[in-house]
Amino acid sequence: SIMDKPPVTQAMIDAYDEYTHLTLDRRRFMERLTALAGSGAAAAAIAPLLAASSASAETIAADDQRLTAEDIVYGGSSGEMKGYLVRPAEAAAPLGSVIVIHENRGLNPHIRDVARRMALEGFIALAPDFLSPSGGTPANEDQARDMIGKLDPAVTAANAEASLQFLAKLDGATGKVGAIGFCWGGGLVNRFATQSPELKAGVAYYGAQPPAEDVPAIKAALMLHYAGLDERINAGIDAYRTALEAGGKTFEIHVYDGVNHAFNNDTSAARYDKAAADLAWQRTVEFLKKNLA
């Protein structure tokens, strides 16, 4: 029947994007979704397809024998940082390290899974909880988004730098550190690159761009992934490209046509795009291997 898989339209995806990034007003979002879907029942069926399901977050088991994974606490810029540290169980030589930066949902099961994927590619992966100063990521996504909106950007960037310094000195690590971030985390990778002379490589998935005047300070090589339908974020691409070119920076920009913001998040049925996600991941791994070698 039609209700088994209700049709998700671009207008519905846009409404969800506005709710999760701009208004944080769930009631208004459900009212819009009801109007677009035609009924409350249809809206109730569609909402979970737009949201992220923690049930499908584990593509790699938390206890995968190829990996060593642990929840850790380390020194942040002003207090303790919590994080999830994953590395290959058997590494003959020291490995490059990658900071995995979460979306505006905080350090959730999906981002832990991405850290495990990164470790399986031959890196030490650290997924910090940037909500550590606020007590850590809550289970409730709306609450997490609200808390992330209240973080001090300067403290957040300083905690990214503290994460880099932790990895730079870690046993079994080469000292070369890169970062990969998604959505809010992609924006943080961009901002972090303008402030960290030691960051070797930054990969930003659909992240907000930093101010053009900060771009000259960037030392890291950058790989910027954008979703073709993500008008809100894509509005900033041209100015960023111009500033990167003017500064003679090492960067590449990839725009994936016809896909939505969050196309990499495979727990979000309506927005995930496997072809784009696989291609972006392949490019990302090659880029990190080259720049952290």
Q: What are the tens digits of pLDDT across the range 5-37?
A: 678 999 999 999 999 989 889 999 999 999 999
pLDDT confidence tier of residue 56, bands split at 50, 70 and 90 = confident
Residue 124 phi/psi, 5-degree rounding, is -85, 125
For 123-170, the pLDDT digits (tens) are 999 999 999 999 999 999 999 999 999 999 999 999 999 999 999 999
237, 209 in Cβ contact below 8 A?
Answer: yes
Mean pLDDT of 106-131: 97
pLDDT confidence tier of residue 55, bands split at 50, 70 and 90 = low
Amino acid at 99: I
User: Checking DSSP bridges between strand 67-76 and strand 95-101, what pairing results, if any?
Assistant: unpaired
Q: What angle do CA 42, 44, 46 make, to 5 degrees?
A: 70
